[in-house]
Amino acid sequence: MNTFSHVPPGFRFHPTDEELVDYYLRRKVTCRRIDLDVIKDVDLYKIEPWDLQELCRIGTEDQSEWYFFSHKDKKYPTGTRTNRATAAGFWKATGRDKAIYSKHDLIGMRKTLVFYKGRAPNGQKLDWIMHEYRLETDENGTPQASISI
């Protein structure tokens, strides 16, 4: 199955944090058109990190980064805690969130997550790292969706 995006030869996709949040994520959340379809929708909690490459690659070149949109899953239907578990393990937040600015205005945040195989608290840390981006607020002050790398 050919799942990668068709892009021109030599195409490189290396957006900045500001571009990911202010262009791609904001357009996705507001259902506006994105000029080039290079970021796929993925259900992150139904797939393991080692399976992301095939779903999210851009073109045919070897990539070390994959971009995708994914909705955050709630641990409990009425709660605010995020469920980051997969069948084989879980994504664990690490460090502090990094603020992302555009012209001195806070537009979003970046959270770093590391994948652990197994179940907490005895999971085995693997080398998979993900950056989760989120809009800080929308026009009504409501937190929004996220994009992950």
Q: Which domain holds residue 63?
A: 24-90
How many Å apart are CA 80 and CA 27, to the nearest integer? 24
Residue 64 located in a structural domain = yes
121 cis-preceded (ω within 30 degrees of 0): yes
Q: Could you tell me which residue, 10 or 128, shows the higher pLDDT?
A: 128
Q: How does DSSP classify residue 68? A: E
Among 144, 113, 147, 115, CA closest to 133? 147
Distance CA 41, CA 27 (A): 14
Mean pLDDT of 119-142: 83
**pLDDT confidence of residue 79:** 73
For residue 58, give the CATH number of its domain.
Answer: 2.170.150.80
DSSP annotation of 3 reads -
Our count of domains for the chain comes to 1
Please report whether residue 104 resides in a domain.
no
- Mapped onto helix, strand or coil, the DSSP state of residue 149 is coil
Choice among 85-89, 126-130, 135-139 with the minimum mean pLDDT: 135-139
Q: How confident is the model at residue 98 (pLDDT cuts 50, 70, 90)?
A: very high
Residue 6 pLDDT: 62
Highest mean pLDDT among 29-43, 59-73, 107-121: 107-121
